[in-house]
Structure 1
Amino acid sequence: MTARVHRSGRARLIEPVCRILLAAAEFATRRRLAVSTIGLALTLVLGLTYMIFGALGVDPTAATTTVRVQLADSGGLLPGQNVALRGVPIGHVAAVDITRDGLVATATFDAGTRIPAGGHVAVKTLSMAGEQYLDFEPDRDGGPYLADGAVIPVANTSTPAPLWKTLTSMEGTLAQIDPARLAGIIGELGVGPEGPRKLGEIIDGGTFLISTLDSVLPQTVSLLRDSRTVLTTVADAGPGLREVATDTDSVMRGAAGMNDGFRTLVGATPAMLTTIDAVIADNSPTMVQLLGNLLTVGQMAYVRIPAFQEFFFPRGRAGSTLGALADEAIHDGGIWGIVSLYPRPTCDFDHPRRQPSRPDLPLPYLYTSCPDNDPSVLIRGARNAPRPPGERDPAVAPPGREQAQASPTPIGPQSFPLTYGGPPPTDPPK
């Protein structure tokens, strides 16, 4: 009895719901067109709502930050395209406006995204088909950050090269390519089965070369500018280079004629070097002392460079001393000398006279300077030679040493002095 009452109570609760569902079904059946229209409208509204607020992320209540970016040109950037922070999308381009100095792109992004001030802003492309976007590339991670209404100057922005500029730049390169030779290269690549692979390697190598040059673009531009200066200088020196080439050709022809001599020299060089090596090895104990002496010689020669220059390249006339000897004394297949019968200034050295009949070798005097102080006589003498500051004239005897003579020649163990056995010497004429 209790179970039957409970079942009848449940039926009374379900019956109204079933009646409503049956009535709704009958209503929908009678008005199928209206119900279908309402269903489609609701589906459209729900889809648009999901697309706008879900997929596109439009939030009318969200706070945004607007930054104005000054550009020299658009670079293909259009309103509605993405705004990225180091390649990550954070907003969109609200507008691209024309100004007196160029363009201004208005970037809008979520106020919760903080972009450090400074750095660089570039218009980039996702592919060759375009798909430009505005990318912020800050040079630090901390503040200060860009505020709402901030302006990025054009000096801190860049845009990709437009297609017309790229084609214009390629025009000069393409003009230097010979179509016939290019067709020949393509034909050769297509002859063998490895042609496609080789062509791919050539393209990969060109891509690597271009990317490497792009990474050192400032240095490459500087190199090209310097090369232009160098090549201009070489072009100006063209006539001289042609003469050098002609002279070099003559020298090489002469060298070709001496080929046998060069071969002999090359063949004798190893033996000569071996001999030099043996000499150095035999004198290795005294080599340090020899180098020390050469150092002294080098120091003395260094302070007397003006004297050497005056001797080899005198300032009184053009050319060098050796050149003058070669030009004036050696010509026309012979050695020529000039004999002048006119009297010349003489110098009487103030030294004692010896008997001319003595058959010995007297010791030479150390100081044999001409006592004549006339500046027009012996202007090329040792007295007028350039010397280091403060150095005494070596040709002038110190006080009390006017008659000083050289040291006697030492007598070795294999020699002995000879006594004079000739006639008595006579005194020189007074």
Structure 2
Amino acid sequence: MLTRFVRIQLAIFAIVGIIGIIAMVLFYIQLPTLLGIGRMTVTLELPATGGLYRFSNVTYRGVQVGKVTAVALTANGAKATLSLGSSPKIPANLQADVLSVSAVGEQYVDLRPRTDSAPYLRDGSVIAMRDTTIPQAVGPMLDQVNALIKSLPKNKIGQLLDETFQAFNGAGYDLGSLSDSTSRISADANDVVDRTRALIEDTGPLLDSQAKTTDSVRTWARSLAGISDVVATDDSRLRTVLQNGPGAADEASRLFEQIKPTLPVLLANLTTIGQIGVTYHPSLEQLLVLLPPAVAIEQTAGPFNHPEGWSKGDFSFTVDDPPICTVGFLPQNMWRSPSDTSDIDTPDGLYCKLPQDSPISVRGARNYPCMGHPGKRAPTVEICNSDKPFMPLAMRQHVLGPSPIDPNLLSQGIPLDDRVTADQRIFGPLEGTPLPPGAVPRGTPPGPRGASPPPGTLGAAAPPAPSSANMSTQANDFPSIAPLDVAPPPAVHRSPAPPRPPAVINGGPSQAHPSSFGTKASQTAPSIAVTPYDPRSGRYVAPDGKLYQQSDLATGSAPKQWQDLFPT
């Protein structure tokens, strides 16, 4: 039978034991961390373990926030599973470093955020290998130092220490300055640690290549010795260069200071030229291929390659075949005299604006190939990059009359052709040169013979007054070209003249006539008739056999300048 005192002791012992077990489970074994209660799991990718082990601490800004619950190997390195508390929130943009607490090798993970803003780490997050670092292994470094010491002869180690003492004796201040400068360089190198690491890693292949080219290095050393001998021989000249060098360096510095505002702009513009070179790479390649044979051809035709001392070549001279293009350029009233050789600014966008299938100026700007769009041709880069094809300004080139209106010239302040009538708004049509007066359009069905065109139509002429005696007299001078359905007007009787070829005017050649010439009017005749025309008086015989006179002829006056030759 237990006494009351013993029962109290047992109860106190049980309570203390339970509290100890709970404390051991919560704080030492860290059962909530193992079970993930109120925790989040984050995976840390590492190139190697770096000495990290299970139950290593995880700190955030120096404060412990979790534990390492597992460390495992992967195909590319290792990974560690971190169990972190839900508070505080840790930014996902961070640097995870595996560090050592002491020289014994106790490792821990330090989370260093790059920003304080979201996103934050959550359950299942992964810290990539590029954002992690591990400590440098000390063992391999000690092994290399040991191998270096063993490579030195034992009898030379004392001499090495003596020479080292003499080298650094009394250089305490210099060594301190060197140490401070090294610390500053190291601090700056920490900002570009990735580049520094890549530089160190890339140095290995370079050193290996130097080891494999030992003979070449020795040859280079001998050549360097020869250069040193030359420098020793020309010591006075070298001293002169060193004396004048600072002045030249100052001049170069001032030059760079002067071009400092514009040099970045120039270099930035050169990138655009580089893009143009990339776009026109096939053309430049073809130019470089064709340029040497072209130069060789020119040299072959030169006088030095012929015994008589004359250049050899063939020349051909063509004039207006095909005609020059005038559509899309300045109007004729703005053409300068050939004797005017002064330099003037011309508007932008001057090129032949006829259709691309026109035989005129086939090698003009409108047929430039678009290098960025194979199969497309356009005069400008804007049209090449657009989804629209090149649109010509006119379908045909005008023979006479004002040029078609070019919106490009109007937008730059170039006035219209002075031959354009502003009141009637008459300008060159986009369809090209119109048909001459009285010409039958292609495809018009033939009409009845002897039918006069209705009044007011294009090509209709006003008949002269019937009382004109001279008209009747001169009417008999014209032969009857077409069969007359109506009797001619009364005329003075003259002796019959022998038949002569039709339409001989001013001693010129006989005019062509249809195959029905001389047949009766009742027979079927073609829809084409030919009649002589007197340009001085304006008289002609119509197909109906009547004599007409053109009454709206211009007064005869010789042109004073070349622009008067064109109709207005």
Pair in the same fold by TM > 0.5: no
TM-score w.r.t. length of structure 1: 0.40
TM-score w.r.t. length of structure 2: 0.32
**Greater RCO between the two (CA within 8 Å, min separation 6)?**
1
Greater percentage in helix = 1
